[in-house]
């Protein structure tokens, strides 16, 4: 079985083996995956973190040797708190910006170093892996004003369920990738007045399909990715955008993870 570790800031994962195809999600630095099949210049992969499947450019799949992927997968890793961190590649002293939610297993000779595929990296000195990420509200706010991007999971752009997934990943909670999957977990919060910071609010369309998700902040507010990551009002009807004096999303459910 061919398996590997993402060694780029992120890798686009597409619906079809075509660079023009829809990007459905992204692999983040340090996330592991297995290759299911290969067609021309493309490889279909399954992400270990959430089981998501899609196509990546074969040039971005770096061949691994021995049991390094298995060791990386099993190790306790530092999850980069949002929105990003900088690492230094020892070989050429070049820097790589990696997004919040990336995973690092410090297996190098120094406390801030790690090795992947015989390549040594160092965490930039202004980042402290021992520092706690903070509350879910504090982590969510580090993504404030980031632009919406369909399929995005990082600071270059993030979609609504990518935002909720990555924020929860940073604080140590694993949830599925898409909103319609996320709504299936957790316990129901029957009234919006009972929502606490960190609860997930879900919204549907006229056909009853879950199409949006955000993180409750309490106080009748929600932070979510819609155009950009922003804060709006939340009540029993849904999300109320004050600048438009109108509701943008219809509330379906609130879940506590």
pTM: 0.96
Mean pLDDT across 51-58 = 98
Q: Using CA atoms in the order 128, 130, 131, 134, what is the torsion angle rounded to 10 degrees?
A: 130
State residue 176's pLDDT score.
Answer: 98
Task: Return the DSSP state at 148.
Answer: P
State residue 66's pLDDT score.
Answer: 86
Residue 35 φ then ψ, to 5°: -95, 125
Q: Which sign does the torsion angle of CA 193, 201, 245, 231 carry?
A: positive
User: Could you give the CA distance from residue 197 to residue 188 in angstroms, rounded to a whole number?
Assistant: 14
Reply yes or no on whether the pLDDT at 246 is more than 80.
Answer: yes
- Model confidence at 72, pLDDT cuts 50, 70, 90, reads very high
- Model confidence at 82, pLDDT cuts 50, 70, 90, reads confident
Residue 59 φ then ψ, to 5°: -65, -20
- Model confidence at 1, pLDDT cuts 50, 70, 90, reads low
> What is the pLDDT of the chain when averaged over all its residues?
96
User: Could you give the CA distance from residue 246 to residue 240 in angstroms, rounded to a whole number?
Assistant: 6
Question: Over the stretch 87-117, which tens digit does the pLDDT of each residue have?
Answer: 999 999 999 999 999 999 999 998 899 999 9
State residue 13's pLDDT score.
Answer: 98
The class level of CATH for 136-256 reads alpha beta
Mean pLDDT across 121-128 = 93
CB 135 within 8 A of CB 197: yes
User: Could you give the CA distance from residue 103 to residue 151 in angstroms, rounded to a whole number?
Assistant: 19
- Model confidence at 131, pLDDT cuts 50, 70, 90, reads confident
Q: Where are the domains of the chain?
A: 3-123, 136-256
Reply yes or no on whether the pLDDT at 79 is more than 70.
Answer: yes
The class level of CATH for 3-123 reads mainly beta
Could you report how far apart the first and last alpha carbons of the chain are, in Å? 34
Reply yes or no on whether the pLDDT at 161 is more than 70.
Answer: yes
User: Could you give the CA distance from residue 1 to residue 69 in angstroms, rounded to a whole number?
Assistant: 11
Question: Over the stretch 30-53, which tens digit does the pLDDT of each residue have?
Answer: 999 999 999 999 999 999 999 999
Question: Over the stretch 172-197, which tens digit does the pLDDT of each residue have?
Answer: 999 999 999 999 999 999 999 999 99
User: Could you give the CA distance from residue 108 to residue 202 in angstroms, rounded to a whole number?
Assistant: 42
């Amino acid at each position: 079985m061919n398996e590997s570790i993402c060694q780029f800031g992120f890798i686009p994962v597409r619906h079809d083996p075509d660079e023009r195809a829809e990007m459905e999600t992204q692999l983040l630095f340090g996330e592991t995956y297995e290759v299911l099949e290969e067609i021309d210049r493309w490889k279909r992969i399954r992400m270990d973190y959430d089981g998501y499947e899609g196509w990546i450019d074969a040039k971005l799949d770096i061949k691994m040797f021995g049991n390094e992927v298995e060791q990386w997968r099993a190790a306790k890793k530092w999850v980069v708190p949002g929105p990003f961190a900088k690492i230094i590649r020892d070989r050429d002293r070049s820097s790589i910006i990696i997004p919040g939610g990336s995973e690092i297993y410090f297996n190098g000779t120094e406390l801030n170093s790690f090795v992947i595929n015989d390549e040594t990296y160092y965490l930039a000195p202004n980042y402290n892996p021992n520092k706690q990420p903070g509350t879910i509200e504090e982590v969510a706010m580090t993504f404030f004003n980031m632009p919406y991007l369909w399929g995005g999971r990082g600071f270059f752009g993030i979609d609504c369920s990518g935002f909720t997934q990555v924020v929860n990943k940073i604080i140590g909670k694993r949830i599925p990738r898409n909103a319609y999957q996320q709504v299936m977990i957790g316990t129901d919060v029957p009234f919006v007045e009972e929502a606490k910071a960190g609860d997930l609010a879900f919204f549907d369309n006229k056909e009853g399909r879950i199409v949006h998700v955000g993180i409750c902040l309490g106080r009748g507010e929600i932070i979510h990715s819609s155009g950009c990551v922003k804060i709006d009002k939340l009540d029993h009807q849904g999300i109320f955008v004050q600048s438009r004096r109108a509701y943008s999303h219809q509330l379906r459910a609130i879940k506590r993870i």
